[in-house]
Amino acid sequence: MNFTDIELIELMHKAGIRPSVQRIAILSSVFNTRRHPSAEDIFSELSPHYPSLSRTTVYNSLHALCECGLVRQLEIDGANMRYDMAPQKPHSHFICRRCGRIFDMAMPEGLSASAGSYEGFCVDCVDVYFKGICPDCKQKLTT
């Protein structure tokens, strides 16, 4: 799944956020890399191409993109906030304790994965996280 700049601009228009060049680049980084980047990851990926880009712009843009519902924050990594594409079907995440990569996983069976009302509780956010060792790191450990 890859989003062109045109598609990203259209999404931003629909979400009511102004598509500046830097915001498009930041959104593309979240949507197209699929690696759940941190703000720092995005900054180091983009700064060679956008010399005027500052960390503050990255943080502010991510904040704006979260506010308008295009991006969501993942609190899975204790050290850094990580970012994911918001409009996609509910899924859970696995973070590797060794390499820090985040993988998409299916929601555990039997879990209602959407916001709503449950026994009087109003749920507006569902995050399911798994932690452990990814297959790559596991292989490195055993060889």
Residues that bind Zn ion (CB under 5 A): 84, 96, 98-99, 104, 134, 137
The residue whose two tokens read 């830097």 is 22
Q: Let me know how many helices (H) and strands (E) the chain has, helices first.
A: 5, 7
Nearer to Zn ion, 32 or 47 (CB): 32
Q: How do beta strands 102-105 and 116-118 pair?
A: unpaired
Q: Tell me how far, at minimum, the Cβ of 136 lies from Zn ion, in Å.
A: 5
109/99 Cα distance (integer angstroms): 27
- Tell me how crowded residue 51 is: count the other CB atoms within 10 A of its CB: 7
Alpha-carbon distance values, 55 to 22, 45, 46, 127 (Å): 12, 12, 10, 27
Q: Tell me how far, at minimum, the Cβ of 139 lies from Zn ion, in Å.
A: 10
Q: What is the CA radius of gyration of the chain?
A: 17
Nearer to Zn ion, 99 or 115 (CB): 99
Q: Tell me how far, at minimum, the Cβ of 111 lies from Zn ion, in Å.
A: 16
Nearer to Zn ion, 13 or 140 (CB): 140
Nearer to Zn ion, 81 or 137 (CB): 137
Nearer to Zn ion, 68 or 137 (CB): 137
Dihedrals phi, psi of 92, to nearest 5 degrees: -105, 175
Q: Tell me how far, at minimum, the Cβ of 124 lies from Zn ion, in Å.
A: 18
Q: Tell me how far, at minimum, the Cβ of 62 lies from Zn ion, in Å.
A: 15
